[in-house]
Amino acid sequence: VPEDEKDSAAHKVAVDGMVAVLLGIQPGFRQLLLALLELGAAVAENCDVNHMTVSNVATVLGPNLMRSTASDPGAMIQEALAINRATHFMIQHFAVLGPALSSSLAREGAPAKSFRHAHPEESA
């Protein structure tokens, strides 16, 4: 198997794994996460104007999504880095994760609003 296909297969496994993890979150929290990831992706799309790359958005958003459970300072730093990497991954792959979360919410009867389309300037 060519190296790029291995990477692509591993990438698909990683994305599918993240979808599976996110689908385990309670619907209300999943709906909030969907909105925050959508916002993070929208901010990062404009990084040429606002200098907020996916990494920068993940650094700001990650600690507010997940908390470290460690009491040791070294372990806290390692957990913070893992939280930022996970948040980066979710924002970077929002194009796949967003629809998966939206469709799961729709199947469960929860409204899955898109905040991107609710922006007043876009509807004018």
- 58-85 residue pLDDT tens: 999 999 999 888 899 999 999 999 999 9
Q: Yes or no: say if 36 and 94 are a contact pair by the CB < 8 Å rule.
A: no
pLDDT at 110: 79
Q: How far apart are CA 101 and CA 110, in angstroms?
A: 11
pLDDT at 1: 41
| Residues near 56 by beta carbon (within 8 Å), at least 6 away in sequence | 44, 47
- 82-124 residue pLDDT tens: 999 999 999 999 999 999 999 999 999 876 566 555 545 554 4
Q: How far apart are CA 97 and CA 102, in angstroms?
A: 9
Q: How far apart are CA 64 and CA 19, in angstroms?
A: 20
| C-alpha 71 chain-centroid distance | 26
- 6-44 residue pLDDT tens: 568 888 899 999 999 999 999 999 999 999 999 999 999
